[in-house]
Chains A and B, each alone.
Chain A
Amino acid sequence: MQRIGVFVCHCGSNIAATVDVKKVVEMAAREPSVVHAEDYPYMCSEAGQAKIAQAVAEKGLTGIVVCSCSPRMHEATFRKAAERAGINPFMVEIANIREHCSWIHKNIEEGTEKAIILARAAIAKVNLNAPLFPGESRVTKRALVIGGGIAGIQSALDIADAGYEVDIVEKTPSIGGRMAQLDKTFPTLDCSACILTPKMVEAAAHEKIRIYTYSEVEKISGFVGDFTVDIRKKARSIDATKCTGCGVCQEKCHSKKSLSEFNRGLGTRSAIYTPFAQAIPNVPVIDREACIKFKTGKCGVCAKVCAAGAIDYEQKDEIITEKYGAIVVATGFDTIKLDKYDEYAYNQSKDVITSLELERVMNAAGPTKGHLERLSDGKHPEHIVFVQCVGSRCSDERGKPYCSKICCMYTAKHAMLIRDKYPDVKVTVFYIDVRTPGKNFDEFYRRAVEEYGVNYIKGQVGKVAPQPDGSLLVQASDLLDNKQIKLKADMVVLATAIEPDPSVRPLATMLTASIDTNNFLTEAHPKLRPVESPTAGIFLSGVCQGPKDIPETVAQAGAAAVKAIGLLAKDKLTTNPCTAKADELLCNGCSTCANVCPYGAISYETKLINDHGIREDRRVAVVNNALCQGCGACTVACPSGAMDLQGFSNRQIIAEVDAICR
């Protein structure tokens, strides 16, 4: 029989305004095993915690229920208070009467009734609680960074500078990511490559950093401090140890018609290629889909011209298995597909382009060598129309409900750069709102309007119609003048919404990291743990967590690195004692639990079992407590109910449900 103390927190008026705490105390005191019940304005305060210690000493409590805020806030506080008072910390249960109750109710009677029910459920559970004792697990002192864009590079550099080994896995042939594709960066207008490439070089030269490009994470097992990851190093068809990066193979390649991914499909590249001049590593890959040698067996010219003998047509994918203590996800973004936006004529006219494509057009290494020209006929444009929020802040399923955050600023940047370089070009921007929070951001936008004479029109474009003379007719509404307008333009640039890179979805599954409805990785707490995934040991860097610009990305990358360093600095981690346990008398030995266990924590042993006098050898499940993470997958998969989770046993959960339904 337990001796349970119930402590009801007012949380100032957070709880007490909507829940009659005195009534909760009165009702809780009538529950079985409850020997003490009281309320206090702030249970989390030192004085509140002292109440717990005092009651333990005076009433000999064996279990504690705190009716307060979410256990994610103060469960650790009260567990530590209990431990100091001499009670096993796992004898503490929290009834969440704030987030689950007072904050969502307006009526005090309803709120009080629910608070009493929640308290009753927690008391019912504590009645069945048993002391639990955590163990320890080791920490592998190496981090994995998934994604080699600016976010991944920055996280890797910061972790490596702290003295820990880091591996970067990048799926394309070079690190650099989206930032490498940008021409200039706002609000300072410095050259993107000029500030990115030093970081790339630093990462490549860092003795603690290993870079796996043209590689993908294929399998992840394990848990915080002890992940095991399979990395598929795709066959480059080049021996990187021999290649000197001279580039002759690319010049001589007979297959030059593949669309360049780096130039967003606006230009072509050879079948053997490095994506861009400053690529790291400066080792090409052979695109086997495009290569004549791979398609027909003939050609082989690259092997003939390679003085280093680095071409290896027989090269195969390689699987590298490595252990990591922490994983930083930095998978970045892509722009959404515009197939569903026929009204902008993106698929009909070469002169309708996305902003990211305009970056390539403006760039000296781009398809037009940096000359602003129409992609259809190479003519100099007289009028360019920018359309904001293409797929962002969209209320239907064609686009995304969120603001992509970077478009207002880069559109102002594009408009300003064009006006600066080509003062004869007229620039019109259609916008819903101009959003420029950020240091020196609004000043930047004001400059575009005031100094560079960019014509901003509040309103959305309804249709872009290619005309027989090659121009584009833009139909739009001007909301401030309240009229429909038609403009003739030579180019239309779409500020296309960004979305998480599609690779994040399977990756999130492998990591058991949660993602939201827009496929952004979810943070452990939106305010207080913004760079950590709810899955321990997984940290979030860059746009994979939500839209952000370069300064924010770099800041978050650093923050994620610090969190990872904090983890790697530990030698041991305390393990969760809420692990699974098999009842040997009920176990069928059917292996269902082992099949579903994501941690490989369940094995089987043949044991002599004495089942009420029947002695026989049986195949039974055995849980390795060091590996079990208490996810509970086995407990629901077990057909006989033999598998149970300590601290969350089936009986405890049913007792809670019964208490609620009583």
Chain B
Amino acid sequence: MQEQLINRAKELLADGTVVRVLGWRRGDMDYNPEVAYFNSADELNDFVYNGFCGANLSKYMIEASKLEGRTLVFLKPCDTYSFNQLLTEHRVDRDKAYIIGVGCRGKLDIEKIKAQGITGITGITGTPDAVKVSTIYGDFDIACKDIRLERCHVCKGKEHRVYDELIGESADTRDADRMAGVEAIEAMSPEEKFAFFRAELSKCIRCNACRNVCPACSCRKCVFDSTKFDSAQKANTTSFEEKMFHIIRAFHVAGRCTDCGECSRVCPQGIPLHLFNRKFIKDINELYGDYQAGESADQRAPLVSYTFEDAEPGIVSERGSK
């Protein structure tokens, strides 16, 4: 599929449909491609599309929308939800984007390969269903279903929600209950919950990767960066501040988070950040009916629209008392 994508991108550059391409470039290893702009056919020779191209390119379209000319962007099915959400919020310009909906059969998590005790990796090649990991100690064959990203186990489906054209086949890789992790935490006592979150969030090094990669965290000026707010980034005065950072962030993206899973993918400490967002999604679904942010660009989120059917305010204390 990679060759198909490169050839089509070259065509679109050549015929002037787009002036640049937003995609993934070979990284220093086979498993860490990086997000990049390609301005010419030559540069496209470094373009890659493989199982490790998990990065969601939607957010990059905010800046690309400000540039002259149209940008070709490759979006996987789940990335298109983020793009739609950004359209809803007027953060990206649909006319500045030429979207190729690219086929996806689930993306892979290098940490899960390493967790199998495989070290000294020199290269990874693969078919849609299995990968061959070459290491200095020999080669290993691993089935893709065992090393998928968490989000792919709760895949939103193989449909692209917004695109100009489609290339490649997609597959729905869902094989787990999306809310199982949230339900496990809900079943905990308040003390257990607090202990769980303290244990997880104390790993946070405030690298801000989760915020920076998050398509919903797209404020021009983040409250954690602005001197206008006391929440601006500064040395911690208590160990609770990391927790506040993540709790505030979860509130800020509530109702807008598409559950793209990028926060958990990029966290260098392996914190399951998606659980926060998913709790909000679960609550919204239960209180206001099923809602998927980004499913279309013209829907109104339950948290910013009012109807007579809305949950009554007392629901908060009722649920809290359980």
Q: Is B218 an interface residue (CB 8 A)?
A: yes
B residues less than 8 Å from A551 (CB atoms): none
Contacts of A592 in B (CB 8 A): 89, 304
* Residues of A contacting B308 in the complex (Cβ-Cβ under 8 angstroms): 506, 509
Contact present for A588 and B89 (CB under 8 Å): yes
Q: Within the complex, what minimum Cβ distance (angstroms) separates A613 from chain B? A: 14
Are the C-beta atoms of B220 and A596 separated by less than 8 Å? no
A619–B90 CB distance below 8 A: yes
| A640 and B230 form a contact (CB under 8 A) | no
Tell whether, in the assembled complex, residue B221 and residue A640 are in contact, meaning their CB atoms are under 8 Å apart: yes
Cross-chain contact B220 with A640 (CB below 8 angstroms): yes
List chain A residues, Cβ under 8 A from B306. Answer: 509, 596, 598
Cα A619 to Cα B62 in complex, Å, equals 13
User: B219 near A585 (CB under 8 angstroms)?
Assistant: no
| Chain A, Cβ-Cβ closest to B304 | A595
CB closest chain-B residue, reference A594: B304
A432 touches B (CB below 8 Å): no
Q: Are B305 and A640 in contact (CB under 8 A)?
A: no
- Could you say which of A506, A583, A586, A591 has the most chain B C-beta atoms within 10 Å of its C-beta? A586
By beta carbon, the residue of chain B nearest A510 is: B308
Name the A residues within 8 Å of B10 (CB-CB).
Answer: none
Size category of the binding interface on chain A: 20 to 34
B228 at the interface (CB under 8 A from A): yes
Does B206 sit within 8 A of A, measured CB to CB? Answer: no
Instruction: Looking at the assembled complex, report how far the CB atom of A604 sits from the nearest CB atom of chain B, in whole angstroms.
Output: 8
With a cutoff of 8 Å between Cβ atoms, the chain B residues found around residue A647 in the complex are none
Q: Which residues of A are found within 8 Å of B285, using beta-carbon distances?
A: none
**Which of B220, B256, B300 has the most chain A CB atoms closer than 10 A to its own CB?**
B220
Q: Tell whether A378 is near chain B: CB-to-CB under 8 Å.
A: no
Contact of A586 among B89, B226, B252 (CB under 8 A): B226
Specify which of A583, A595, A598, A639 is in contact with B252 (CB 8 Å cutoff): A639
Instruction: Fill in one digit per residue for A300-329: 1 if any B CB lies within 8 Å of its CB, else 0.
Output: 000000000000000000000000000000
- Does B223 have its Cβ within 8 Å of any Cβ on chain A? yes
* Contact A591/B228 with A585-B221, A586-B219, A640-B223 known, Cβ cut-off 8 Å: no
A587 touches B220 (CB 8 A): yes
Q: Does B274 interact with chain A (Cβ within 8 Å)?
A: no
B91 lies within 8 A of chain A by Cβ: yes
Instruction: Tell whether, in the assembled complex, residue A588 and residue B226 are in contact, meaning their CB atoms are under 8 Å apart.
Output: no
Q: What separation, in Å, do the CA atoms of A589 and B66 have in the docked complex?
A: 14
B137 in the interface, Cβ–Cβ < 8 Å? no
**Interface set, chain A 605-662, CB cutoff 8 A to B:** 611, 616, 618-619, 637, 639-641, 650-651, 654
**Inter-chain contact B219/A588, CB cutoff 8 Å:** yes
Question: Which chain B positions have C-beta within 8 A of A588?
Answer: 89-91, 218-220
Q: How far is the CA of A637 from the CA of B90 in the complex (A)?
A: 16
Contact A641–B229 (Cβ < 8 Å): yes
Q: Which of B66, B88, B230, B256 is the one whose CB lies under 8 Å from A639?
A: B256
| 0 or 1 for each of B79-107: is its CB under 8 Å from A? (1 = yes) | 00000000011110000000000000000
Instruction: Give the docked Cα–Cα distance between A593 and B222 (Å).
Output: 17
Contact with A along B219-247 (1 / 0, CB 8 A): 11111001011100000000000000000
Question: 8 Å CB contacts to B: which residues of A561-617?
Answer: 583, 585-592, 595-596, 598, 604, 611, 616
With a cutoff of 8 Å between Cβ atoms, the chain A residues found around residue B218 in the complex are: 588
Is the beta-carbon distance between A590 and B228 smaller than 8 angstroms?
no
Chain B residues near A640 (CB-CB < 8 A): 219-223
User: What residues of B have a CB within 8 angstroms of the CB of A639 in the complex?
Assistant: 219, 252-253, 256
CB distance from A107 to the nearest CB of B (A): 29
The complex places the Cα of A182 from the Cα of B222 at a distance, in Å, of 64
Q: Which residues of B contact A589 (CB under 8 A)?
A: 90-91
Complexed CA–CA distance, A616 and B230 (Å): 27
Residue of A nearest to B219 (CB): A640
Residues of chain A lying within 8 A (CB to CB) of residue B300? 595
Closest to A650 in B: B229
Q: In the bound complex, how far is the Cα of B222 from the Cα of A650, in angstroms?
A: 16
A589: nearest chain-B partner, CB-CB: B90
B256: chain A residues at CB < 8 Å are: 639
User: For residue B305, which residues in chain A have a CB less than 8 angstroms away from its CB?
Assistant: 595
| Residues A616 and B66 in contact, CB atoms below 8 Å apart | yes
Q: Please give me the residue from chain B that is nearest to A509 by CB atom.
A: B308
Query: Could you tell me the distance in whole angstroms from the C-beta of A504 to the nearest C-beta in chain B?
Result: 12
Pair A591/B226 contact, Cβ less than 8 Å: no
User: Closest A-chain residue to B221, C-beta based?
Assistant: A586
Q: How far in angstroms is the closest Cβ of chain B from A413?
A: 38
Task: Assess whether B220 is in contact with A637, with CB atoms less than 8 Å apart.
Answer: no
* Chain A neighbourhood of B90, CB < 8 A: 588-591, 604, 619
Q: Cβ of A654 and Cβ of B230 under 8 Å apart?
A: yes
B169 to chain A, nearest CB (A): 35
Chain B residues with CB under 8 A of A651: 228
Determine the distance from Cα of A596 to Cα of B230 in the docked complex, in whole angstroms. 26
Separation in Å of the A66 CB from the closest CB of chain B? Answer: 28
Q: Quick one: closest B residue to A616, CB to CB?
A: B66
CA distance A14 to B90 in the complex (A): 55
Residues of A contacting B229 in the complex (Cβ-Cβ under 8 angstroms): 641, 650
> How far is the CB of B224 from the nearest CB of chain A, in Å?
11
**What separation, in Å, do the CA atoms of A346 and B220 have in the docked complex?**
65
**Could you tell me which residues of chain B, from 206 to 225, have a CB within 8 Å of some CB in chain A?**
218-223
Among B91, B226, B252, B304, residue most surrounded by chain A Cβ atoms (within 10 Å): B304
Contact of B226 among A506, A587, A641 (CB under 8 A): A641
* CA of A595 to CA of B226, assembled, Å: 25
B47-71 CB contact bits vs A (8 Å, 1 = yes)? 0000000000000000000100000
Contact of B304 with A637 in the complex, beta carbons under 8 Å: yes
A641-B304 in contact given A588-B91, A588-B218 (Cβ < 8 Å): no
Provide the bound-state CA to CA distance between A598 and B306, in Å.
9
A167–B226 CA distance with the chains assembled, in angstroms: 52
Smallest Cβ-Cβ distance to B222: which chain A residue: A640
Cα separation A586 to B224 with both chains bound (whole Å): 12
Q: Give Cα A591 to B297, complex, Å.
A: 13
B300, chain A: closest CB distance, angstroms: 7
Bound-state CA distance A596–B301 (Å) is 11
A174-191: CB near B (< 8 Å → 1, else 0) gives 000000000000000000
Docked complex Cα distance between A611 and B66 (Å): 15
A591 and B89 CA atoms in complex are apart in Å by 6
A616 and B66 CA atoms in complex are apart in Å by 9
Contact indicator per residue, chain B 278-305, by CB within 8 Å of chain A (1) or not (0): 0000000000000000000000100011
Q: Are B304 and A586 in contact (CB under 8 A)?
A: no
CB distance from A418 to the nearest CB of B (A): 43
* Docked complex Cα distance between A598 and B222 (Å): 26
Chain A residues with Cβ below 8 Å from B222 are 640
* A467 to B264 Cα, complex, angstroms: 71
Say yes or no: B304 contacts A596, CB within 8 Å. yes
Cα of A641 to Cα of B229 in the assembled complex, Å: 9
- A589 nearest CB across to chain B (Å): 5
B241: min CB distance to chain A, Å = 16
Whole-angstrom distance from the CB of B68 to the nearest CB of chain A?
13
Q: How far is the CA of A509 from the CA of B91 in the complex (A)?
A: 32
Q: How far is the CB of B266 from chain A (nearest CB, A)?
A: 21
Q: B304: shortest Cβ distance to chain A, in Å?
A: 4
Q: For residue B253, which residues in chain A have a CB less than 8 angstroms away from its CB?
A: 639
- Given A509-B308, A596-B304, the answer on whether A590 and B91 have CB atoms closer than 8 Å is yes
Q: Bound state CA distance, A27 and B317, in angstroms?
A: 38
* Pair B228/A641 contact, Cβ less than 8 Å: yes
Q: In the complex, given contacts A586-B219, A592-B89, A611-B220, what are 8 additional A-B residue pairs having Cβ atoms less than 8 angstroms apart? A: A509-B306, A583-B228, A586-B226, A588-B220, A590-B90, A596-B304, A598-B306, A654-B230
A residues lining the B interface (CB < 8 Å): 506, 509, 583, 585-592, 595-596, 598, 604, 611, 616, 618-619, 637, 639-641, 650-651, 654
| A-B residue pairs in contact (CB < 8 Å), sample of 24 | A509-B306, A509-B308, A583-B228, A586-B221, A586-B228, A588-B89, A588-B90, A588-B220, A590-B91, A591-B88, A591-B89, A591-B90, A592-B89, A611-B220, A616-B66, A618-B220, A619-B90, A639-B219, A639-B252, A640-B219, A640-B220, A641-B223, A641-B226, A641-B229
- Which B positions have Cβ atoms within 8 angstroms of A? 66, 88-91, 218-223, 226, 228-230, 252-253, 256, 300, 304-306, 308
